[in-house]
Structure 1
Amino acid sequence: MKREKLKLSTILSYALATGSGYQIMGSLVGAYLMIFLTDTFGVPAGAVGVITVVASIWDAINDPMMGTIADRTKSRWGKYRPYFLFIPAILTVVVVLLFASPNIGTHGKIIWTAVFYILYGMLRTAIEIPSGALINAVTDEPSERSKMINAYTMVMGICTTIATSFGLALVSLFGGDNTAKGYMIVVGLAGVIMTITCWMCFATTKETCVQHNEQKPLLEEIKNLFHVKGLLSVIAVWLAAYTAYNIMMSSSVYYIMYCLCRPDLISVYMLDVSLVGLLGIVIIVPLFMRLFHKTQKAFAISQVAVIICDILIVIFHGNMAVLFICSGVASMFATASMPFSAMMMTEMTDLVLIDSGRVVNGTMAALKGFSNKAGIAISSAIVSFTLAATGYIANAIGQEPQAVITGITVARFVVPVICGIVIILALVKYPITDEIRQKVRAVYEKQHTENK
């Protein structure tokens, strides 16, 4: 019995919606928001840390809620597609205001940042969760899901490279001496791209693999999910992977500017990290999956490479050749964690299906999304609290205390090593086996037969 193959237009539109403007915006926030807040807007580093922790706590509450809301959504457009229509434009306005720099005093700036950063996280959730859930709703064929994941991570890698490598140049181009204006224009343009591509995705996707569950209370739905074998280990993997990736991006600018005293190398270094990181999606993921066949094994081996490279950078601190080569290689394997994490999400969603018969696309995507934003919050908190605790002086290139330099170095390279070790240990408990994959395939084949 032949089933309709996933159209190329669906794969491309999904990749553009989740990987282009949306990712450029997220990369700019991840790489440059903290240094914008501390060095341009004038928010104390300690306050930035508190804001990210508070936002993380709120995300712990609203992410699972958004997942179950998405799973329960009923509309003529489907469960997940409607969120692509209305949220992007609102998110664009919020992130533009997040980079505004009103002269409202220190306390006013802290409140301004807190309000718009929390709104930013909530609105990203309202897109991120449905977009993650949409993969399983569009197709139940593992090879087609892999194509969707590979396509969007490819676009994501390219756009991350553009945002992190040329972000400051674009800010300078559009804003001149007015840094805040430059950021607002750049993220605004990213928002326009995001809105258009999300509408394209809405128009070209169909939710053909959606089942409607018996309605259960929200808290009971979430509680039952945590009884799934191996789920906590998977969440630990996601949390460590996103923390390592985001701290790599958010602390790199500080490291080049204040530890090496070479602000002229920021764009070159970010290009190295982002461009070589793209190879992780293009080469490492398909190569490792072909060599090792299992997601968890490929993921674990990639983390060994990250650990080795970061240790070498610490040992040969100040050696530019080692820094650029090892940073690029480490980024390549760290970036590979993004598609590996997405593959784990789809497999865990299938595990819940065969264990309980329930479809929890949105809720599982919510747990992955929460891990992502919690990783962002943890990495931001580590950097900001480190700066506050060590006596960081904004814009004091070449005059920072040794404690600041040591703290930034530890945050940039030692924390990712610790995260890599956590990932490897947690992957030992990954519950997906070949037997489970065969059971999943049998369930889907049965559904296709019944539908015929």
Structure 2
Amino acid sequence: MLLLPYLTNTMGVAAGVAALLVLLPKAWDVVLNPIVGRISDRTQTRWGARRPYLLFAGITVTVLFILIFAAPLGAEPGAGYFVAAMFLLTATAFAFFQVPYVAMPAEMTDSYSERTRLMTWRVALLATSILVAGAGAPYILDAMGGGIPGHRWMAVFVGAIMLAGTLIVFYSTAKAPVGQVTASEPSLRAQLRVAAANKPFRVLVVCFVAQSTGVACMLAGVRYFAVYVMDDLGATTWLFLIVVSPALFTTPIWRRVGERYGKLRGYVLASITLTAATFALTAAPLLPDFGVYAIIALIGFGYAGQQLFGLAMLPDCIAYDTRRTGKRQAGVFTGVWTAGETLGLALGPGIYAFVLELFEYVSTNTGVFLPQTSLAENGVLLGFTLVPAFIVGIALVLLRGYDLEEDQLATA
């Protein structure tokens, strides 16, 4: 939400170049994450296989994230490359946190329904922290005068949340069940072949990549949309609050939908809601503010369900593989999963930035949003609405190939 505007409006980086600076460091994780997964699968410590990575990688991510926005070179022409370098290192450290973290639920329980309950808590708490960070960061940025000083204070604020989260997850999982190192495929290539042969997992990954890309495209455009469509930079906080907060209240509703109708049907319903609402937002220039916020809330409702069911179905795919093969490879599966999710989160801002470049958006190093042509303003709108709606809609077609249900896990 903040990195792309930081590059185009504070560092003075052209939108097309900013797209590459945002995309390439995260694309590196696509290669790295499966490797991290294999490493964590084979790790043996008194803290378990996953938890050491949570602690050390989490602390490292905190420091590197702050450095992204430290701007020691000011707004000089080469400053954007410093940002990209720090972003690359942050993405690398985050891979060592994220992959073990996502692998843990599959090793905590064998229950098909309990995994959904676990993910309900995860999505709700994730939404809470995203809400605090996502709404608080723009507020602090603007309150501290914007520009480089504002970004530095914002980074310290978010970094403190990262550090707290790291310590909480490390210490609170001290007594959680952990997986044991068992036989696995002899090489990473062989493990990746096994993951690719798992059809439900393969379909789920592709769907989640598409939806992560679309949602990330929208998040990258929040501040631009607030300024050039709603004519109010202060609307950034409200837009973010309204799109994230539904997860706090509606995730239990989605859980009950999953328990009654199945996770797959719940995922399809959430995806339809997310896609339709995003398409509807294209009419934003013609709507009053409350109409825009109502559609944003509906997007948040669909997004909460999409997150819950995607994360709840992932451990099912891993458990299905473990029961079928008798081998422990959760790390590789989650490595591929997080690689796909990371690719989507990188592609989203990159796509939005390329749309801005295509519609001739003018960058600046003043730290403010310059007046733009009507062509550029149209690019801001379409990149925030029509483009992500098309992307997230792809998952609706792909989900037809998912066929893993509870009875298959019971007989695997």
TM-score (structure 1 length as normaliser): 0.84
Question: What amino acid is aligned across from residue 414 of structure 1 in structure 2?
Answer: L
Q: Which moved more, 1:215-224 or 1:194-203?
A: 194-203
In the alignment, the residues of structure 2 paired with residue 190 and residue 50 of structure 1 have an alpha-carbon distance, to the nearest angstrom, of 28
Q: Which moved more, 1:346-355 or 1:306-315?
A: 306-315
1:372 to 320, 334, 341: 341
Deviation string 1:45-87 (CA, Å, 9 cap, x unpaired) is: 2222112332243112101111111111122322112212311
Q: Give 2:48's aligned residue.
A: 78
Structure 1 residue 300 and structure 2 residue 253: aligned? no
Question: What amino acid is aligned across from residue 296 of structure 1 in structure 2?
Answer: L
Secondary structure of 1:382 counterpart:
helix
Q: Is the 8 A contact 1:60 1:370 kept in 2?
A: yes
Deviation string 1:148-174 (CA, Å, 9 cap, x unpaired) is: 211121111111122222322233456
| Root-mean-square deviation over aligned CA pairs | 2.2
Structure 1 residue 238 and structure 2 residue 198: aligned? no
Structure 1 residue 274 and structure 2 residue 251: aligned? no
Q: Give 1:98's aligned residue.
A: 68
Secondary structure of 1:41 counterpart:
coil
Structure 1 residue 437 and structure 2 residue 409: aligned? yes
How many corresponding residue pairs?
407
Structure 1 residue 151 and structure 2 residue 121: aligned? yes
Structure 1 residue 361 and structure 2 residue 330: aligned? yes
Shift of 1:398: 7.2
Shift of 1:277: 4.2
Alignment map for 1:206-245 (pairs within 5 Å): 206-207=177-178, 209-214=179-184, 216-245=186-215
In the alignment, the residues of structure 2 paired with residue 53 and residue 265 of structure 1 have an alpha-carbon distance, to the nearest angstrom, of 26
Q: Which has the higher contact order (CA 8 A, sep 6+)?
A: 2
1:160 to 103, 117, 130: 130
Shift of 1:347: 1.1
Structure 1 residue 413 and structure 2 residue 382: aligned? no
In the alignment, the residues of structure 2 paired with residue 90 and residue 311 of structure 1 have an alpha-carbon distance, to the nearest angstrom, of 39
In the alignment, the residues of structure 2 paired with residue 215 and residue 438 of structure 1 have an alpha-carbon distance, to the nearest angstrom, of 24
Question: What amino acid is aligned across from residue 159 of structure 2 in structure 1?
Answer: G
Alignment map for 1:23-422 (pairs within 5 Å): 31-103=1-73, 106-173=76-143, 178-207=149-178, 209-214=179-184, 216-283=186-253, 285-292=254-261, 294-315=262-283, 317-319=285-287, 320-394=289-363, 397=369, 399-422=371-394
Q: Is the 8 A contact 2:117 2:255 kept in 1?
A: no
CA 1:150–1:322 in structure 2 vs 1: closer, same or farther (change >3 Å)?
same
Q: Structure 1: which 5+ residue stretches go unaligned?
A: 1-30, 441-452
CA 1:291–1:203 in structure 2 vs 1: closer, same or farther (change >3 Å)?
closer
Deviation string 1:310-363 (CA, Å, 9 cap, x unpaired) is: 232223533123211111111111122112111121111022123322222111
Shift of 1:175: 6.8
Shift of 1:106: 4.4
Runs ≥4 in structure 1, deviation > 4 angstroms? 104-107, 172-177, 395-398
Secondary structure of 2:197 counterpart:
coil
Question: What amino acid is aligned across from residue 152 of structure 2 in structure 1?
Answer: K
TM-score (structure 2 length as normaliser): 0.92
Shift of 1:397: 4.9
Q: Structure 2: which 5+ residue stretches go unaligned?
A: none
Q: Which moved more, 1:170-179 or 1:330-339?
A: 170-179
Shift of 1:176: 7.2
Shift of 1:382: 0.8
